[in-house]
């Protein structure tokens, strides 16, 4: 019997898949299955992913979805890595916005005729990259951090 132990590194793998799915539009269930199989077996991202998001995000995702559990970062290492990455690079923000708009267009094609409303991209840009607050769930007080 092939038994594997579930560790926190399994959550890191799942976080990598979720991050990938948030950034990369997937049109069909079959495409999703094929992409996830490639990611799981070979840590292989689609060809245009690097061109769209750059090497920093590719390296981060590859580390999260590594087939070798020990090669995946811990949650603490992941947070440090994100803190030390320059996501303020305008080209990074532009690529994220472009993918988000592509996803919106993809989604709207399934719900009816496409409309092209005027979008306030500066407001969207600010909302996508503003600082979020989060809670320390390990604290009995639920301390809020900014």
Examine residue 134 and state whether it is found in any structural domain, yes or no: no
Question: 64-93: per-residue pLDDT in tens?
Answer: 999 888 999 999 998 888 877 766 665 556
Specify whether the CB–CB gap between 65 and 17 falls below 8 A: yes
Helix 90-111 vs helix 121-129: crossing angle, to nearest 10? 110
Domains contained in the chain, number? 1
Q: Look at residue 103 and tell me if it is in a domain.
A: yes
Q: What domain range is 57 assigned to?
A: 1-108
DSSP string, 28-74: SHHHHHHHHHHHHHH-PPPHHHHHHH-HHHHHHHHHHT-SSGGGSPP
* Residue 138 lies inside a defined structural domain of this protein: no
> Does residue 93 lie within any of the structural domains?
yes
Confidence (pTM) = 0.57
Residue 116, in any domain of the structure: no
pLDDT in tens, 39-57: 888 777 888 888 888 888 8
Kindly state whether residue 36 falls inside one of the protein's structural domains. yes
Residue 141 lies in a domain: no
CA distances from 117 to 27, 104, 113 (A): 23, 12, 12
* Residue 89 belongs to domain with CATH number: 1.10.510.10
């Amino acid at each position: 019997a092939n038994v594997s132990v579930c560790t926190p590194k399994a959550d890191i793998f799942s976080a990598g898949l979720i991050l990938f799915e948030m950034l990369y539009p997937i049109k069909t269930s079959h495409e999703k299955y094929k992409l996830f199989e490639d990611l799981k077996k070979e840590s292989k991202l689609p060809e245009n992913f690097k061109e769209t998001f750059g090497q920093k995000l590719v390296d981060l995702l590859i580390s999260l979805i590594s087939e070798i559990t020990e090669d995946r970062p811990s949650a603490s290492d992941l947070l440090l890595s994100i803190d030390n990455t320059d996501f303020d690079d305008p080209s990074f923000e532009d690529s994220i916005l472009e993918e988000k708009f592509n996803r919106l267009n993809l989604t709207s094609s399934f719900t009816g005729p496409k409309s092209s409303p005027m979008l306030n991209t500066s407001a969207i840009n600010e909302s996508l990259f503003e600082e979020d607050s989060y809670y320390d769930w390990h604290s009995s007080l639920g301390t809020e951090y900014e």
